[in-house]
Amino acid sequence: MSNHAVENAGIVASKVAAYGGAGGAVVAGLTLNELGVIVGIFVAVVGLVLGQIWSWRKDRRETREQEIRMRSEFGSEWNKL
């Protein structure tokens, strides 16, 4: 291994240790109530995002279904009427 690779490995290891220590300090400093609030906020945000995605997909499905129904009833040139 070259000297440069060893130096980079040391830098990466020190960053991982620093971030891990900081994250551990934050988690250890939180009470159970604070952790519950953070988890609740996370669940709410994820639920909101997933709800929006599902609504968007439902709208796309309904649009395709309406297109098929209109073509079936009025023919392929229905939108030019």
Do residues 30 and 38 lie in contact, with contact meaning Cβ atoms separated by under 8 Å? yes
Per domain, the residue ranges of the chain are: 1-30, 31-81
Do residues 79 and 70 lie in contact, with contact meaning Cβ atoms separated by under 8 Å? yes
CA R_g for the chain: 27
Please give the average pLDDT of every successive group of 10 residues along the chain, which has 81 residues.
70 82 80 87 95 94 92 82 62
Q: Hey, is 27 helix, strand or coil?
A: helix
Query: pLDDT at position 81, please?
Result: 62
Do residues 65 and 72 lie in contact, with contact meaning Cβ atoms separated by under 8 Å? no
Do residues 60 and 67 lie in contact, with contact meaning Cβ atoms separated by under 8 Å? no
Query: pLDDT at position 53, please?
Result: 94
Query: pLDDT at position 42, please?
Result: 94
